[in-house]
Structure 1
Amino acid sequence: MSNGSIKKWYAVYTKPRWEKKVHRLLEEKGVECYCPLNKVHRKWSDRIKIVEEPLFKSYVFVRVNEEEKTPVRMVNGVVNFVYWLGKPAVIKDKEIQTIRKFMNEFEDVEVRQINVELDDKVMVNQGVLMGKKGTVKRVLHKKVEVLIESIGFTLTAYVDKSKIVVIEKQ
């Protein structure tokens, strides 16, 4: 297998509000892709409804090799790959798995772009991510942020602080 045929995860930037359409068009072309959907509670005057919105605005993840990059760029609604240090940003398989687990466990997830700073090292001692180590970016009341390094985002959910233990103070 040549290096050009190894599939890696990348993020593609889409036209605004085209995430679900781009995901569907990529799937129709047989491209492995992932558009994390956030279950959000929306309140109307007469009811509250849960709707699914893309977690990362204007982003869809694709798992492709070098030869598949050009056809992906040609898909209607795709603006380009997300670049990091002059090259399309490679997303680690482990980070995609973390996003999937996080989205399966939590609703109403908040996402923000961040500048990385190191704080306490922690280990999750309960729940889906039990045994996983990470770096706390911020804790306010019961809010815990999980860092997804390669694209510089944090995922934020309301998690009981009793589910984490400090293993190294900074």
Structure 2
Amino acid sequence: MVNFTVTDTEKDRWHIIYTRSRWEKKVDLLLKSQNIESFCPLIKTTRRWVDRTKVVELPLLSSYLFVSADPKTHLKVLNTSGVIKFVNYCGKPATLCNDEIERIKKIVDTYQNIDTVNLPQIRIGDKVKIVDGVLYDMKGEVLRIRGKSVVLFMDQLNCALVVKAEQLMKSCA
């Protein structure tokens, strides 16, 4: 049998787990029912259907949630229905400290209309290629990043354009 020793720094660390699509809240409840501390940041948003309008709670981060578990509990977490894997970064488990989790909790509790923006690791000055839309395969240089939009200088057109971030891919050349 393997003995794990948990240091103080490991106790203060939250691991990121990847879940099945739209299972974040279910997995959160399943983990809590096993006495495993988990956190699924939820935001309230108004959804409209043809016949009604309703305020619903949706996960801030699709398919991700946080779990505070020692190494002995990791297998129990992985065996929980809906959990796909622990998220790794550079070959090591991706973790957040308690302060970062508290900051996320405070933001979710304090602000409304929160949205996450998944930028493809781009910075001002990067050369990018448009991978979707009418300007498909055109290249440009990032001048400014504003929320979900990126201002690009398009040398081929001799102008600047505003493009949605999800339409871009960092160019190697």
Matches within 5 A, 1:78-97: 78-97=83-102
- Correspondence for 1:62: 67
Letter in 1 for 2:61: F
SS of the residue 2:85 aligns to: strand
The runs of 5 or more residues in structure 2 that have no matched partner are 125-143, 148-173
Q: Where does residue 74 of structure 1 map in the other structure?
A: 79
Residue 112 of structure 1 aligns with an amino acid whose one-letter code is V
Amino acid at match of 1:63: S
Q: Say which SS state the counterpart of residue 39 (structure 1) adopts.
A: strand
| 1:6-63: CA deviation from partner (whole Å, max 9, x where unpaired) | 4220110001111111111100110000001110111233443210011111111100
Change (3 A) 1:27 1:13: same
**Deviation digits for residues 46-97 of structure 1, max 9, x if unmatched?**
4432100111111111001111111111111100001111111011211111
Secondary structure class of the residue paired with 1:38 = strand
The 5 Å alignment of 1:123-138 reads: none
* Residue 20 of structure 2: aligned partner: 15
TM-score by length of 2: 0.63
**Counterpart of 2:44?**
39
CA contact (8 A) 1:27 1:33 kept: yes
Q: CA RMSD in A?
A: 2.4
Total equivalences in the alignment: 122
Of 3, 6, 13, 1:3 maps to 6
1:109 and 2:83 correspond:
no
Contact 1:4–1:66 under 8 Å retained in 2: no
The answer for the alignment partner of 1:27 in structure 2 is: 32
Shift of 1:139: 5.3
TM norm structure 1: 0.64
Moved more, 85-94 or 107-116: 107-116
* Alignment partners' CA distance in 2, 1:61 and 1:37: 12
- Distance, in Å, in 1 between the alignment partners of 2:105 and 2:87 is 20
Q: Percent identity?
A: 35
